[in-house]
Amino acid sequence: MAYLINGGKRLKGEIAVYGAKNCALALLGASVLTNDDIVLHNCPDISDVSNMILLLQMMGMTVRRIGDTVTVSGTLTSTCAPKSVATLLRGSALILGSTVAKYHQIALPLPGGCAIGARPMDIHLSGLKALGVEVLDAGEMVSCKGVPVGAEYKLRFASVGATENLLCACVLAKGESILSNCATEPEVVALEQMLVQMGAKIEGIGSPILKIVGVDRLHGAEFTVIPDRIVAATYLAAAAATLGEIAVTNCCPQHFAAFSELLCSRFSVRIFSDTVCINAVKNPDGYGTITTAPYPLFPTDMQSIVLSLAACSDGKTVICENLFENRLEHNALQLSKMGAQVTVKDNIATVFGRKLYSASVCAADLRGGAGLIIAALAAEGQSVVDGVEHINRGYVDFAGMLDSIGAEITVV
């Protein structure tokens, strides 16, 4: 499948944000920690979540979905994750810590997902080793065995996934654990909050240092998935690229403040408690220098959409990608097909904005695909964006949502 986009249409209207992919996957991974019901509201209907649910079901959990509410219960009948599903999404790695904590063993094929860089599992595994877990890394398969025991561990990098996995391993560990240099992204905080609702003992929620005292068991909980900050930023970027005027509702503006500040410095933007309104009158003279870094600084997941904004601006932008080594090159090449002037050297892209024209391009990853959609919306003429399967991993009915605010986009 592909998206067929008639560009040059000014977006206008109101559009609501749904639950965050990265939050839902972490919470689903943590559901393994209890036999009781975990009820998740605002769970997005996207392929990554569907595959995570399928993974849990194939390992023995009972999962029911009614609308945007997902209920997980029961116990694992297998601690070996099926390769056919685990390799479909990076989020499959998020069952690692919880399964080891509850069942004291797991066999996990290396997770799949986007081709944006190495994204190694070394922090996850070295953290589990620090907790006394025996780890065998056989290349394409990771096996862990043992009862986690409280320990002190400093993450070499503030990895979101490693923080989430080690947190889940610690909540049922024997004794006290202290994790430092932890990620503080909103999705991590949401997981910490749900674990506390389940009976976990965690101090330092939202901070880089977490103190966890292991408990014997956790119980069920009911929790609402936080709004997707990357989706909110995508909608706002689409409006900026098309010189549109939209209101993005049901979002948490404080979760993407670094991106909002970038827009505020160049467009008319109003920020409310759960809504951001943008009125883009003219293209800015570039976006200056942007450097990706862990939260609360500029997110790597928003880099691709800013690359597209820079490409259709009227000035120079420099983007430094510090987290994933392959995240610049593919979209730079695709944007050049649309007339963009982008040069990439190592991890730095230099962009001189200009008017884009239509072309046939292909998405290689989720956020890169969203960036190409934004470029196609701004370009004159009819563009084709292939690789819809990547985009469907993180966006609910992307074509329909954009169509509701004035885009001319169809799935072919």
* Residues labelled as active-site residues: 114
CA dihedral 368, 371, 376, 378 (to 10 degrees): -160
Residues 204 and 211: beta-carbon distance below 8 Å:
yes
Helix, strand or coil, per DSSP, at residue 149: strand
Helix, strand or coil, per DSSP, at residue 201: strand
Question: Structure tokens of 120?
Answer: 């190694």
Residues 14 and 51: beta-carbon distance below 8 Å:
no
From residue 207, how far is each of 23, 197, 230, 312 by CA, in Å? Answer: 17, 18, 21, 37
CA dihedral 117, 323, 254, 393 (to 10 degrees): 0
Give the CB-side neighbour count of residue 383, counting CA atoms within 13 A.
29
Tell me how far apart the alpha carbons of residues 153 and 120 are, in angstroms, rounded to a whole number: 18
77: burial class by Cβ within 10 Å (0-12, 13-18, 19+)? exposed
Of 6, 11, 7, the C-alpha closest to 280 is: 11
3-class SS string, 132-144: CCEEEECCCEEEE
What one-letter code names the amino acid at 52?
M
Sheet holding 105-109, edge to edge: 105-109, 141-145, 134-137
Tell me how far apart the alpha carbons of residues 144 and 267 are, in angstroms, rounded to a whole number: 51
